[in-house]
Amino acid sequence: MNIELGFSYEILQDSYAVGSAALCIGALMFIPMVLKFGRRPVYVMSTLAQFGVAIWFAKIQTVADLMLVNAFSCLLGALAEVIVQMTVADIFFVHQRGMMNTIYIWIMVIGSALGPLAAGYVTASQGWRWVWWWMTILFGISFVLFLFFYEETKFLDCIDGMAPVNHPQRENLARSRDNLKEAEFEKVHDAEVGEKILELNTPDIDLSISRKTYLQRLSLWSSSPGSLKFFLRHIYQPLIVTFSFPAALYVAVLYGMLTALWQVMITVVASTMPEPPYNFTASQVGLMSLAPFIGTTIGSMIVAPVSDRLVVRLAKRNGGIFEPEMRLWILLVFSPLVPAGTLLFGYSLGHTQPWHFVAIGYALYGLAMGPISSTSLTYLTDAYTNIVADSLAGVTFLRNLFATIFVFAVTPWTAAVGIGNVFLTIGVLMSIILIPGTIAFLYYGKRIRHWTTDRYHRYSDL
């Protein structure tokens, strides 16, 4: 594109930043539709729309085309960062979500890491426009798969896992809190609520209700009660939720910084390594993405079986009571690899070290990013399951806001202080966010969730 259409590397990086900005608001725009009409129609329609955008991408000629296709594809692509987590929360139990989210993150890395690898070889053999024709083919296949095989997973929550907010037994328990010390209250709360769940939630199941037919399960709409205007509040509510719940803000900042740094690495490799002294071809730039893919794959293979087993084991030691913070121990194990990979990557590029040093730093970062991302997202899903759509939409907004800022800033920032110092600053910042933040939530996360209980129930009803 640089050679054939005359797009400068600055223009190409700016188009990437435009895409990141679109990712910020995409989830906020479409999540109300997911909540109102269901997961299935949004999966189907967005995939069909991406099919059309990919055709447009294959035919671009101008800078305006470049900016617009990045904006539209990322507006739609933002859904993938929220709706998949909603689907996981719909159909998997607590002790399965760690594995499922790890698989999700790993698949996402296949796209972001092996995509450039495939694109490099396609560009070398068929020309860069065929990268997008292949995307058109893949989106067409995906559309057919969603249309005929993806069943709606949204359901109306008829069984409440807690005593109703206005239930007299719960009100009595709330009033007793003022008369108990905090530690004593927590013991009483855990024991009594466990008993009340059994007492209050013994639903009658009508076994005569038949299963829906195949065509009924593939209905395009599954509208929820309430007007569309009622659901449109979820355009702005994710931002309120993110800043109202410390756990949501913590995950948003952590996951946002992780993925923003990942995107900066991608853009820096793509814009720096074709230049001297590396002089990489398009396929060689693509091969560099193998490093983080290998790192993330190893990290995912380690954490996938460990995450859920760990929380089951810790819950048994805790008298059978599961706490979402139990997953956070995994973050502490992988935390040192984030600054290590970041500094090695930045130092090697800044001092034009051999490419394999850059690749090792890239791989170390990938090794940490997969487990930390999947664990933090699973923690948020476990802690605030009923408002997972709003909380994850807020996470996506901040994550892509960080990415937009970093990608726009990286060129002038690098010109001012050098690549090595840029990544040194980011590495130190990541260490400050990751390690002290995780320790704080390990020790105070449960107490914070107690403080936000009433707020959680209020947003669960909206």
DSSP string for 201-233: ------TTSPPPPHHHHT-S--PPSS-HHHHGG
Residue 268: its pLDDT value, please?
A: 87
Task: Read off the pLDDT band of 168 (50, 70, 90).
Answer: very low
Burial class from Cβ neighbours inside 10 Å (0-12, 13-18, 19+) for residue 402 reads buried
Helices 9-37 & 237-244 angle (0-180, nearest 10): 90
What are the residues whose beta carbons fall under 8 Å from the beta carbon of 397, sequence distance 6 or more?
24, 25, 27, 28, 238, 239, 242, 252
Q: How confident is the model at residue 59 (pLDDT cuts 50, 70, 90)?
A: very high
Q: Examine residue 261 and state whether it is found in any structural domain, yes or no.
A: yes
Q: Is the pLDDT of residue 42 over 60?
A: yes
Domain for residue 147, yes or no?
yes
pLDDT for residue 184: 47
Q: How far apart are alpha carbons 89 and 103 in whole angstroms?
A: 14
Does residue 141 belong to any structural domain of this protein? yes
Q: pLDDT band for position 68 (50/70/90)?
A: very high
Q: Among 98-112, 137-151, 230-244, 264-278, which range has the highest average pLDDT? A: 137-151
Q: Mean of the pLDDT values across residues 226-241?
A: 80
Q: CA 71, CA 14: separation in Å to the nearest integer?
A: 11
**Does the structure show a pLDDT above 60 at 382?**
yes
Helix (H, G, I), strand (E, B) or coil at 173: helix
Instruction: List, for residues 390-412, the tens digit of each pLDDT value.
Output: 888 888 888 878 877 887 788 88
**pLDDT value at residue 166:** 46
Q: What is the mean pLDDT of residues 71-89?
A: 86
Q: Which of 72, 76, 36 is nearest to 56 (CA)?
A: 72
Which CATH number do you get for residue 139?
1.20.1250.20
- Indicate whether 163 pLDDT > 50: no
Question: Residue 93: how many CB atoms within 10 A of its CB?
Answer: 8
Confidence of residue 88 (pLDDT cuts 50, 70, 90): confident
Domain count, the chain: 1
Flag whether 28 is in a domain.
Answer: yes
Confidence category of residue 204, pLDDT binned at 50, 70, 90: low
Q: What pLDDT is stored for residue 183 in this prediction? A: 46
Average pLDDT over residues 323-332: 91
pTM for the whole structure = 0.75
What pLDDT, on the 0 to 100 scale, is given for residue 217?
Answer: 78
Q: Which of 68-77, 184-193, 334-343 has the lowest mean pLDDT?
A: 184-193
Residue labelled with tokens 């070398």:
124
Of 94-98, 143-147, 372-376, 419-423, which gets the smallest average pLDDT? 94-98
Picking from 195-209, 213-227, 331-345, 352-366, which range would have the lowest pLDDT averaged per residue?
Answer: 195-209
The pLDDT, as a whole number, for residue 191 is: 47
Mean pLDDT in the chain?
A: 83
Tell me the residue range of the domain where 302 lies. 1-151+227-461
- Residue 175 resides in a domain: no
pLDDT tens digit sequence for 426-440: 999 999 989 899 999
Structure-model confidence comparison of residues 57 and 117, the more confident one: 57
Over residues 12-33, the pLDDT tens digits come to 878 877 887 888 888 888 888 8
Summarize the confidence of residues 106-112 as an average pLDDT. Answer: 83
- Interatomic CA distance for residues 24 and 38, integer angstroms: 21
Q: Report the share of the chain in percent with pLDDT over 70.
A: 89
- C-alpha dihedral over 407, 381, 305, 146, to 10 degrees? -80
Q: Dihedral sign, CA of 304, 267, 31, 220?
A: negative
pLDDT for res 201? 52
pLDDT at 423: 92
With a cut of 50, say whether residue 194 has pLDDT above it.
no
Asked if residue 145 belongs to a domain, the reply is: yes
Provide the pLDDT confidence category of residue 156 given band limits of 50, 70 and 90: low
In a domain, 61, yes or no: yes
| Domain assignment of residue 264, yes or no | yes
